[in-house]
Every structure is written in structure tokens, then in C-alpha cells.
Structure 1
Amino acid sequence: MTTASTPSDPLDDRKFVVALARGLELLRAFRPGESMLGNRDFVERTGLPKATVNRLAYTLTVLGYLRLDESVGKYALDAGVLSLGFALLSGTDTLELARPHMRAFAREVGAAVSLGCRDGLDMIYLDTIRSETALTLGLASGSRLSMLTSSMGRAYLAVQPPDVRAALLAELGKAAGREGAAMLADTQREIDTFMREGCCYSFRDWHDDVNAVAVPFREPRDGRWLVLSCSGPASSMGEAVFRDTVAPRLKSLARRLGDTA
């Protein structure tokens, strides 16, 4: 089981509530595009015993975070989760500041531009703006991407203190299984790229027809790291376009929104 705690902060077992962490793992088991999951799905994705999953799912249903469809015996996310998401988005002043700039950026480059932050071992999209004039690719708010294969995740890793980054990479490699070594090597390559160029790329790593670039910046209000990314079809936006045209503009936008590395 993974948690969203920062590796640089030692876990205090006296304060850590295991039951709460397990309940949140059930909510995180939902993936983009999925509307319903059953107990078997929860067990497979969290590694928790079936009896524990049953109790957690019941509790989350009573509290309004899950909704049970008795006709199929599966759960859907309920309004409680949605209210938490709205609270997060409404509390992010940077998102409101960034939207008009992101909209203009998407029009200029003919691609999708997204803003995201870390959640556990993933990056979660806070917002995505797509170009209105060209075919673009981009995930919706709430979508998750792996830190190892996404430019957004690689950019986040690149600005972490060395000990925090090492701990995260070790955990990511373990979670990736047999493919972990190769994925870690690709990620380290892009971290090295960041040290030279101030951005990270993902060329067909996340999807066969998706190229992307990402730039991190510190949110002025509370100093947390957010990441801007721009993605487009690899078939029409090659590596040179991202290196020579998109990346310089994205770095400029990041500097307008906060402190860059």
C-alpha cells in the first residue's frame, strides 16, 4: 500500500491512522474512465483482504463517498468525493491565474496544456485546456499519470531534494515490477535533461502517439511544486517542435506563474 506522505518526513506510527489510509486507497483505486468497481477490483488493486475491503466500502458508502449499485453489486464514487475535488480546485488561486494563460498557450501552439500536482506515486491533473483549432490530446481534470512515464512526473521528480527523489524512485521502481529498471533509466535520463534545459520530455513513453514536455514551478501561496505540461500528437508534433518551439514558451509561462528551479 502506498501513501501520499513525503519520503523526507519520517512516518510517525503513533499519529498514522492505518484505517484512514486504507479507506483512501479504495477511493484511489478508481481509474480515469471507470464508473464502477466491485470488491474483487478493490482487493486486486489495493492488496487488502476481502473482509477489510467490505468494511471500508460499507463505511465510505455510509459517509457518502461511495454509492452501491445493488443491481450489479458494484460501487461508484459519490458526491462526497466530488465536493472534496471542488474544495481543492476552488482553493487553488494559481489555477485561476493560470487558466487564461493556458488557454492562450493552447491556441498558440495548437496542443493541450495541463496543470498538475503530485498525489502519491502519480501526478493528478488539476486542469487541461485543449486547442480549439487543432487535433490535440489531453486528459481531463482528475486524471492520473505515472511519474515514471509522464513528462509531468519526471519534472516533479527533478526538483525534489536528492534524498526525497531517491526514495521516490526506489518506490516507483518497486511498483513498476519487471519493467521498473528500464523505466527508471528513462526517467533518470529526463532528470539529467532537466538539469541542462530546465524541462523534461516524454516522447512516445506514455502513449505511442503522444509527445509532451513539462516544467515545474513553486506555487507562490504555499510553496508547493506544481507542474505545467504540454502534449500533442507525435505524428504531427515531433521532438524538434517540442524542443525548439513548445519548451521555451512553456518555461516562460511557468516563470510568470511562480518560482522555477
Structure 2
Amino acid sequence: MNASSSFSSALAEGPIDERKFVVALARGLELLRAFRPGETLLGNRDFVERTGLPKATVNRLAYTLTVLGYLRFDELLGKYALDAGVLSLGFALLSGTDTLELARPHMRVFAREVGAAVSLGCRDGLDVIYLDTIRSETALTLGLASGSRLSMLTSSMGRAYLAVQPLDVRTALFAELEKAAGADGPAQVAAAKREIEIFAREGVCYSFRDWHDDVNAVAVPFREPRERRWLVLSCSGPASSMGPEVFRERVAPLLKSLARRLGETV
């Protein structure tokens, strides 16, 4: 199998029965994942660079996704945009997540009490994706919203997810993440491993200015009661006014308490 990074990250979750695995479908989904927050248009060259797929394959997949309503082709610019089919899938996910509905009122109270932003997210390939974010009226942190993606290595949310994975899964993910991060990979992996050591003592993972120069964050993973998948709560705020001690002494205990109300924690 000529696997892309997402194929490899899927393998990291456990053995795959290749008789049942549809490579063409996986490749089509890779094109949809190529869009990053804030991007509205991508061309074939962008798809090739981000997926590693041959240009001819990209052409066929993009055409198929356009016919099915997941992409829209702008003939004037010669580029593709996400279409309504993707939006409908996203709404189906969010409306079907009972934990999200349960979490929202608690997140609102938390955001007001702490004066920061609180987010709920899950893993998506080699990233973590935000399912929802609620900010206090005074929060000055970056405006990450539903659908925003962050590196699993540099974000507190991603590190918290890694911390609760079985050792063999975590090891395989680290190898893929280091490769995907390029020259910065070894340093990012080392930093993430240090945070996982902290998780073993404190039950949380931090990210102090690691993914943005003026953002500090803390995250706590919990397992959904019904679907049994790992979700992650995170709280982020401006590093200029919310230093590491604020997160360690005040925010982390409150976030751990909230996670315990929503599911099973470590």
C-alpha cells in the first residue's frame, strides 16, 4: 500500500485488514483534509504537495468529489473550494455528539470563571481538531473555532491525547509526527515527551508558548461514557497576562474537575 501520512497514522491505531481497506476512498478523504483553517481555495498542485499523491490521481479524485458535491471548482481561478457536502457531514458529527451538548453549559461557566477560552476536541489524523470553543467576554486569546486544527506535538490538546494512548500506539504516532514535522520534528517530539512525563504526575499536559508566542494552554483528556473514545478539554489564554503558574495552580485543577464531570479520566 502506498500510504500517505494519514494512512500511516491509521496503521498506528492498530492492524488494518487490507482486504477491507478501500485505498481510493482514503485518498479522496485526504484531499478534503488538505484544506487548512482559513483556506478557501486549493489547486491541484496544492493537493499533490500536501497528499503526496500523483497529479493524475489528484485530478480524478477532485473531479469525483466535485460531482458528489464535496468540492466546488472555480473555473476562473482554476482551484477547488469545499462545498456543502462537507458542511453537512460536519453538522452531522456535531449534532450527533451527546457529550458536546452536555459539555457546553459547563464550558460556558468555566470560561466566565477563568476569563479565558475553553475548547473540546478530538484526534483527526496527525492533528487534533476543535469540536467547539467557548470564550469569556474578556478572553483575548486567538479565535480558534470549530474545525480548527492544531499539531498533536505542540498543542496541549494533542499532547494530552498522546499521553493516554497505549505505549505501542504512542511510539508509532511519535515516529509519524516526527517525520511529518521535518527539521523541527526531533525537538517537538522531545518537548511532547516531557509534557507526557508531567501528565504522569499531574494528570494534565501544558503548552507554554509552544504553538503560538503569546498563548499558554493546559489540557485534560477524558473518555466518553457511551462511545468510549478519547476527547480532550483545553483552556487557553494570553501568555502576557496568564503565565504558567496561573495554569498550574488555578486553571488545571478546575479543568480536571470539569473533565471528571463529563467522562472517565485517568
Matches within 5 A, 1:37-186: 37-186=42-191
What TM-score, normalized to structure 2?
0.96
The aligned counterpart of 1:245 is 250
Pick one of 239, 263, 266 that aligns with 1:234. 239
Long gaps (5+) in structure 1: none
For residues 189 and 10 of structure 2, what CA distance do their matches in structure 1 show?
21
What TM-score, normalized to structure 1?
0.98
**Does residue 1:254 correspond to 2:252, yes or no?**
no
The answer to whether the Cα contact below 8 Å between 2:14 and 2:169 also exists between their aligned partners in 1 is: no
**Does residue 1:213 correspond to 2:213, yes or no?**
no
Q: Deviations over 1:36-84 (max 9, x none)?
A: 1111111111111111111000000000000011111111000000010
The answer to whether the Cα contact below 8 Å between 1:216 and 1:254 also exists between their aligned partners in 2 is: yes
Deviation beyond 4 Å, 4+ runs, structure 1: none
Question: Residue 136 of structure 1: CA displacement?
Answer: 2.8
The answer to whether the Cα contact below 8 Å between 1:215 and 1:228 also exists between their aligned partners in 2 is: yes
Question: Residue 15 of structure 1: CA displacement?
Answer: 1.2
Question: Residue 174 of structure 1: CA displacement?
Answer: 1.2
**What letter is aligned with 1:195?**
A
**What letter is aligned with 2:146?**
S
SS in 2 for 1:192: helix
Alpha carbon RMSD of aligned pairs, Å? Answer: 1.0
Change (3 A) 1:167 1:243: same
Aligned length: 261
Q: Deviations over 1:14-54 (max 9, x none)?
A: 11111111100000000000011111111111111111111
For residues 8 and 35 of structure 1, what CA distance do their matches in structure 2 show?
31
For residues 107 and 160 of structure 1, what CA distance do their matches in structure 2 show?
31
For residues 248 and 84 of structure 2, what CA distance do their matches in structure 1 show?
42
The answer to whether the Cα contact below 8 Å between 1:69 and 1:76 also exists between their aligned partners in 2 is: yes
The answer to whether the Cα contact below 8 Å between 1:118 and 1:124 also exists between their aligned partners in 2 is: yes
Judge which range, 35-44 or 128-137, deviates more.
128-137
Q: Deviations over 1:189-220 (max 9, x none)?
A: 00000000000000000000000000000001
Pick one of 189, 192, 208 that aligns with 1:187. 192
SS in 2 for 1:214: strand
For residues 60 and 93 of structure 2, what CA distance do their matches in structure 1 show?
27
The answer to whether the Cα contact below 8 Å between 1:211 and 1:231 also exists between their aligned partners in 2 is: yes
Q: Deviations over 1:123-155 (max 9, x none)?
A: 000000011134233411001011000000000
SS in 1 for 2:225: coil
The answer to whether the Cα contact below 8 Å between 2:139 and 2:237 also exists between their aligned partners in 1 is: no
SS in 2 for 1:127: strand
Pick one of 14, 38, 48 that aligns with 1:9. 14
SS in 1 for 2:45: helix
SS in 2 for 1:181: helix
For residues 139 and 206 of structure 2, what CA distance do their matches in structure 1 show?
21
Question: Residue 103 of structure 1: CA displacement?
Answer: 0.7
